[in-house]
Amino acid sequence: MAFIDDIKARAKADKKTIVLPESMDKRTYDAAEKILKEGIANIVIIGTPEEIAANGAGYDISGAVIVDPFNDPNKQKYIDKFVELRASKGVTPEAAQEQMEKDYMYYACLMCKCGDADGVVSGACHSTGNTIRPALQLLKTKAGISSVSGFFLMEVPDCQYGEDGLFVFADCAVMPEVDAEKMAEVAALSAESFESFVGKKAKVAMLSFSTKGSAKHDNVTKVADAAAIAKEKYPDIDVDGELQLDAALVPSVAELKAPGSAVAGHANTLVFPSLEAGNIGYKLVQRLAKANAYGPILQGLSYPVNDLSRGCYADDIVGVVAMTAVQAQK
């Protein structure tokens, strides 16, 4: 069974309610029709009757709940919650209502916060920042977590590395620069994500252009420090670094460059030293190896809120909704 088929089966076994706030994009309706037909999740689409009619024509979304942000009977409840959460920032009821009507992502997050939905998927026609900002303001991070990061679940065909070709790549979506502390936190969150989705033990490689001191540079020191922090702070995860990519994946190279490492040569969770490296890395594998790249999936938030690539297809939205539903089960 392919990875995404397993995820869909898990989503169907305990259906959750996922909000799609991008009613201005036809891909939303294409995806919603497929999700409802397969029984992957309950779907809420936020939009006015005019937006639904203009963009949803021709799609069967009869099983979806449509929430009109201007005439929703629950609207006052959400306004009150918005003010409660952001009163210290000077948010008034009038300002809350205006923001909710202008940006449906805020409305979607408030539905989660009030217990009327389990997760949100957005980003097909909005930036990552526009997806994450309302989530950070209204839903916050998990207890003990300082930042949000994003990963891709990579499914590489005919691949002998990782977990039969399955990998988590992080951070590929959120933080342009990470210090050693944040990189260690990304390692812990990524290990948890890999184990949750794949069901196997994560082996986390902290990647660099150096392996175990083979090069000297501040960027190398940062990765080595991150690995040391992760080992001390999160003793239950298998993590090592700094490791070059070949040392992380290839057993024969690992024996030469990092003998004795429990991770080197067997890594399935790759933590990149910067967003630049992570984003380039996942796109290289996706395009050159014809890999499936599921995500970006966000980690560290108190509720599952996930981003999409603005170049995504409807089937990509279906996959991310299934993964969001599985996150919500936990």
- Of the listed ranges 7-21, 38-52, 69-83, 142-156, the one predicted with least confidence: 142-156
Q: What is the DSSP letter of 300?
A: S
Give the list of residues 6+ apart from residue 9 with CB closer than 8 angstroms, or none. Answer: 1
Confidence of residue 204 (pLDDT cuts 50, 70, 90): very high
Q: What are the C-alpha distances in Å from 187 to residues 50, 56, 202, 206?
A: 45, 40, 10, 8
pLDDT, tens digit, 9 for 90 and up, residues 152-183:
999 999 999 999 999 999 988 888 888 999 99
pLDDT for res 147: 85
pLDDT at 44 over 80: yes
State mean pLDDT over 39-53.
95
pLDDT at 177: 81
In this model, does residue 33 exceed pLDDT 70?
A: yes
Average pLDDT estimate for 219-228: 93
**Nearest CA among 50, 85, 46, 74 for reference residue 303:** 85
The CA distance from 64 to 46, in Å, is 10
Mean pLDDT of the chain: 92
